[in-house]
Amino acid sequence: MEHMRNNKNLQRIVIIAIVSIVILVVGFYFYHFNGSISQDSDSWSNFGNYINGVLMPVLTAINIYVFIKLTTEVSKLEERRSENAISKENERIEREMQHEREILLLQLRKQELDVFIKQMNRIFDNSSDSISIESLQQVADYLKSFGETGLKWFNLENYEITKNEINSMWVKLNRYIYNIQNNKAFDEELFNKIYDTKAKLTNILMEATLK
């Protein structure tokens, strides 16, 4: 719109300039030669030569100015179009890169979630009579590591609360392991707390994975 307004203004200025120059040149001619209309063809020929000699350089200069002005405007317009095209291309590339990052992040979260579920299920795979202390200790070690590193990949609204839940489960699991190592009676309440915490954490991570 601005470019079109500039062109229209330029056209008006050129037309006004040409008309003004023509009136000025013709008026000066008639004023200088007493303003009478001659019946002599030689006089008209001289008038034509006068007009041609005076106006043509001026009109040529105006044409050159208009040409340069229009060329500059067209160049600016093409430059703006080129900048807009580059900007749009950069935006498209950025959107594609963001999409790829989101896909990679989703895959990473899913892998972390799968490993988490698999590790937690090791606690409940065996009956209380045949639980492997070594296996449970590996789960506890994993849980500690996950709370420090793996949890950061998830988009959690309550990150610290979830981390505290993981630490709480780690404490419960270590107490459970301690009871087994010392041949204490099976603590069903503790076992159920571990199961409930595991279910709660799994749901939290599933929701975070899909965000």
- pLDDT, tens digit, for every residue of 102-120? 888 889 899 999 999 999 9
pTM: 0.57
Amino acid at 73: E
The per-residue pLDDT for 73 is: 74
The per-residue pLDDT for 113 is: 93
Residue 101: pLDDT band (50, 70, 90) is confident
Can you tell me the mean pLDDT for 36-56? Answer: 59
Can you tell me the mean pLDDT for 22-43? Answer: 58
Q: Has residue 43 got a pLDDT over 80?
A: no
Residue 166: pLDDT band (50, 70, 90) is very high
Q: Return the minimum-mean-pLDDT range out of 17-21, 134-138, 157-161, 179-183.
A: 17-21
Query: 14 with 67: CB under 8 angstroms?
Result: no
Higher pLDDT, 151 or 63: 151
Q: What is the DSSP string of 75-130?
A: HHHHHHHHHHHHHHHHHHHHHHHHHHHHHHHHHHHHHHHHHHHHHHHHHHSS-TTS
CA angle in degrees (0–180, nearest 5) for 190-193-198: 130
Angstrom distance (rounded) from CA 124 to CA 132: 11
Can you tell me the mean pLDDT for 167-178? Answer: 93
- Mean pLDDT over each residue of the chain, to the nearest integer: 78
- Half-sphere exposure of residue 172, counting CA atoms within 13 Å on the CB side? 20
Cα torsion for 172, 175, 181, 182, to the nearest 10°?
-140
The per-residue pLDDT for 8 is: 62
In this predicted model, what pLDDT tens digit does every residue of 4-28 receive, in sequence order? 555 566 566 666 766 666 666 666 5
Amino acid at 178: Y
